[in-house]
Amino acid sequence: MMQNELHNQRLLREAEQANARLHTRRHFLRECAFGFGSLALGSLLQSCSIGSANAGTSAIPFDPAHPLAPKLPQFPAKAKSIIYLHMAGAPSQLELFDYKPDLMKLDGQDCPPSLLEGKRFAFIRGVPKMLGPQARFAQHGGSGAWVSNYLPHFSSIVDEVSFLKAVTTDQFNHAPAQLLVHTGSPRLGRPSIGSWVTYGLGTENQNLPGFVVLTSGGKFPDAGKSVWGSGFLPSVYQGVQCRSEGDPVLFIKDPKGMDRDLRKASIDAINQVNEEEYQEYQDPEILSRISQYEMAYKMQIAAPEVMNINNEPAYIHEMYGTQPGKACIANNILLARKLVEKGVRFVQIFDWGWDTHGTAANLSIDVGLNNKCRTVDKAMTALILDLKQRGLLEETLVVWGGEFGRTPMLENRDGKQNPFKGRDHHVEAFTIWMAGGGIRKGVSYGETDEIGYAAVSGKVTPNDIQATLLNQLGFDHEKFTYQFQGRPFRLTDVSGKVIDEIVA
């Protein structure tokens, strides 16, 4: 109770601060308007609500001149930012979290027809064999969560985590399933979670993008940039891809031959001419342009700084298992911590290469999956511990998962045996875990049947997860809408329910 009150007080303080910031911002704009009358300022602040013909109570103010100005959520939020770790390709729940000893007993037997009738799989045809768990499981922590030996580090922090063991989807192909997870719809064209969040909340740190995307594994996720696209929201809300090779943010580096002083001089000159232009035209958009150029200048310093992990102490590198200079998920996870620390709202991490069909050794359940786990286990564990030790875990929601699950059957491809042990795409059950950001600790919610084929209780969908994420950020997913094509659209489309069972 006490803690709750403290929490609420903190939120109230935050709300006040946010308001004060808005106020200061106006003040700043007035300052940078170089003393021009209140006329321009008035129209500057009036410009809002594009694309919303019937601005109801739920409409989020949108100012095209300052689309990323910080805004307050609909109700006090438990989380301020989200780090979403997506293992693109879909990791096997049966080797990691969903322990099924009974499945071992069926290993090598023909799959019973009842599991195949009326079902469709991406590759499995005919009658496949059952495949027992390929990892060794044990219970961990006070909560007694089952985790396999593929994730030895993670096993030590299970008491910080809520597991959702009965997640289901209705998309068994990667691209549509990833779109469903990140945009609420399996078709292209909808805004991603991070876009909704920056649309609703703006960004805390104007020197950094509000929604950052980090990728590893050598490829983009299957659905491409659409999983961090802004859909019908203004494109300013799409995720900004930050890169560990080349420019950390596209075009952030000054051209060769242009040092910082000269860049400053050039932006000053541009803005001086723009001021002249403003004198003549009195168009408030020019003032906005002036401030965008100032912000760009600051972002050029802030972004490379935050994107540089080299200045982190050695013990942090050790903790995360980073590989400086490489595009790897451990580096990206450390970056994610740095970014949320600096006020970035939403960090989306994609790691490609989890599609363990068994068509090659690196895509097998026994070898490939284990190797992939080694690349992420230490870092994701470190993330939780590091956020905790910095007092950031309470306000940072961490989500980990894939786009669907994998079959309890050994994959055969087009009726043929695959060369290695693999599992096909599976929609009826998979596991996602969350931690921090007002999520309960040490909870496992939802159950699958004795072979992990289908959810039997506590079934949740990607839309439910999205509703929960928005809830933690202070939004009612049913009222958080954007008017488009004549109707209010929302992230969760026409479904979704907050998973109260894991909300603290």
Partner 1 sequence: MFIFSKKIFIVSIAILVAAGFYWVGTREAPVDFSADVKPIFNKKCISCHGGVKKQGNFSVLFRTEALAKTKSGKWAIVPGDPEHSELIRRIRSRDPEDRMPYHHDPLSDQEISVLTKWIRQGARWGDHWAFTFLKPVEVPRLPGSFFGLIPGKGADWARNPVDNFIYQKIAQQHLTPSPEADKPTLLRRVSLDLTGLPPSASLASKFLTGNQPQAYEELVDSLLASPHYGEKWAAGWLDIARYADTKGYERDAGRSIWRYRDWLIKAFNADKPYDKFITEQIAGDLLPGATDDQFIATAFHRNTMTNDEGGTDNEEFRTAAVMDRVNTTWQGILGTTFACVQCHSHPYDPFTHDEYYKFMAFFNDSRDEDTWADYPLLRQYNSEDSSKLASLVSWLRQQGYQAEAKNIYQFLKTWQPAFNSLRTNSFVNCELNDTKWLAMRNPSTARLQGVLLDGKTQLIYRYSTFAPGGTWTIHLDKPDGPVLKSIRLDTAQHRSWIIGGEDLPTTTGVHDLYISYANPALKDPNQNGLQFDWFYFTEPFPGKGKAGYDSAYLDYWNLLVKEVPSTPVMMDNPSDMHRATYVFERGNWLVKGKQVSAATPHTLNPLPAGAPANRLGLAMWLTSEANPLTARTMVNRLWEQLFGTGLVETLEDLGTQGAEPTHRELLDYLSYRFMHEDGWSVKKLLKEMVMSATYRQDSKLSKESGGQDPFNKYYSRSSRVRLSAEQIRDQALAVSGLLSEKVGGPSVMPWQPEGIWMSPWNGEYWISSKGEDQYRRALYTFWKRTAPYPSMISFDGVGREVCTARRIRTNTPLQALVTLNDSVYLDAARHFAWRMQQEKGDVQAQISRGYEIAMQKKISSSKLLALTALYKTALNKFSHDKQKTFEMAGLDKQHNQPPLAALVVVANAILNLDEFITKS
Q: 323 near 330, Cβ under 8 Å?
A: yes
Q: Which is nearer to partner 1, 52 or 472 (CB)?
A: 52
Instruction: Single out the residue of 54, 114, 310, 311 in contact with partner 1 (rule: CB under 8 A).
Output: 54
Instruction: Single out the residue of 33, 286, 330, 344 in contact with partner 1 (rule: CB under 8 A).
Output: 286
User: Which region, judged by CB under 8 A, interacts with partner 1, from 286-294, 362-370, 437-445, 450-458?
Assistant: 286-294
Q: Which is nearer to partner 1, 299 or 382 (CB)?
A: 299
51 binds partner 1 (CB under 8 A): yes
Cα–Cα nearest to 87, from 484, 391, 355, 411: 355
Q: Least CB distance from residue 109 to partner 1, whole Å? A: 21
Q: Least CB distance from residue 451 to partner 1, whole Å? A: 22
Instruction: Single out the residue of 14, 43, 71, 504 in contact with partner 1 (rule: CB under 8 A).
Output: 43
Contacts (Cβ under 8 Å, ≥6 apart) of 70: 18, 21, 22, 201, 202, 203, 204
285 binds partner 1 (CB under 8 A): yes
479 binds partner 1 (CB under 8 A): no
Hey, what are 292's tokens? 């965008």
**384-387: which pairs have CB atoms within 8 A and are 24 or more residues apart?**
384/157, 384/160, 384/161, 384/435, 384/436, 385/157, 385/319, 386/316, 386/319, 386/320, 386/337, 387/337, 387/340, 387/436
How far is CA 350 from each of CA 4, 29, 142, 195, 369, rounded to the nearest angstrom?
Answer: 34, 37, 31, 16, 16
Residues in the interface with partner 1 (CB under 8 A) total 103
Q: Least CB distance from residue 368 to partner 1, whole Å? A: 15
Query: Which residues in the 400-459 window bind partner 1 by CB under 8 A?
Result: 414-417, 425
Instruction: Single out the residue of 35, 117, 118, 120 in contact with partner 1 (rule: CB under 8 A).
Output: 120
Q: Least CB distance from residue 329 to partner 1, whole Å? A: 15
Q: Least CB distance from residue 60 to partner 1, whole Å? A: 14
343 binds partner 1 (CB under 8 A): no
9 binds partner 1 (CB under 8 A): no
Q: Least CB distance from residue 254 to partner 1, whole Å? A: 6
Q: 228 near 222, Cβ under 8 Å?
A: no
Q: Which is nearer to partner 1, 155 or 356 (CB)?
A: 356
110 binds partner 1 (CB under 8 A): no
Give just the sign of the alpha carbon dihedral 393, 381, 314, 254: negative
Q: Residue 18: CA atoms inside 13 Å, Cβ hemisphere, count?
A: 19
Instruction: Single out the residue of 119, 289, 374, 388 in contact with partner 1 (rule: CB under 8 A).
Output: 289
Q: 132 near 159, Cβ under 8 Å?
A: no
Residues 69-108, one symbol each (x = binds partner 1 by CB under 8 A, - = not), give: ----------------------------------------
- Rounded (10°) angle between helices 284-307 and 329-341: 130
What's the CA gap between 502 and 379, in Å, rounded?
Answer: 24
50 binds partner 1 (CB under 8 A): yes
40 binds partner 1 (CB under 8 A): yes
Q: Which is nearer to partner 1, 76 or 224 (CB)?
A: 224
What's the CA gap between 479 and 456, in Å, rounded?
Answer: 30
- The single-letter DSSP state of residue 404 is S
Q: Which is nearer to partner 1, 396 or 463 (CB)?
A: 463
Query: Which residues in the 254-283 window bind partner 1 by CB under 8 A?
Result: 254-259, 261-263, 265-270, 272-274, 276-277, 280-283
Query: Which residues in the 211-230 window bind partner 1 by CB under 8 A?
Result: 215, 218-226, 229
First to last CA, the chain: 12
Query: Which residues in the 182-201 window bind partner 1 by CB under 8 A?
Result: 187-189
3-state secondary structure 315-383: HHHHHHCCCCCCCCHHHHHHHHHHHHHCCCCEEEEEEECCCCCCCCHHHCCCCHHHHHHHHHHHHHHHH
Q: Least CB distance from residue 440 to partner 1, whole Å? A: 32
Hey, what are 253's tokens? 């580096």
User: Which region, judged by CB under 8 A, interacts with partner 1, from 24-32, 35-43, 371-379, 389-397?
Assistant: 35-43
Q: 271 near 293, Cβ under 8 Å?
A: yes
Q: Least CB distance from residue 244 to partner 1, whole Å? A: 10
Instruction: Single out the residue of 132, 209, 437, 438 in contact with partner 1 (rule: CB under 8 A).
Output: 209
117 binds partner 1 (CB under 8 A): no
Residue with tokens 């009738």: 117
Q: Which is nearer to partner 1, 42 or 101 (CB)?
A: 42
Q: 489 near 232, Cβ under 8 Å?
A: yes
Hey, what are 72's tokens? 């307050």
Catalogue the E-assigned strands of 177-251: 211-216, 240-241
Query: Which residues in the 133-152 window bind partner 1 by CB under 8 A?
Result: none
Residues 157-176, one symbol each (x = binds partner 1 by CB under 8 A, - = not), give: ---------------xxxxx
Q: Least CB distance from residue 206 to partner 1, whole Å? A: 8
What's the CA gap between 436 and 434, in Å, rounded?
Answer: 7
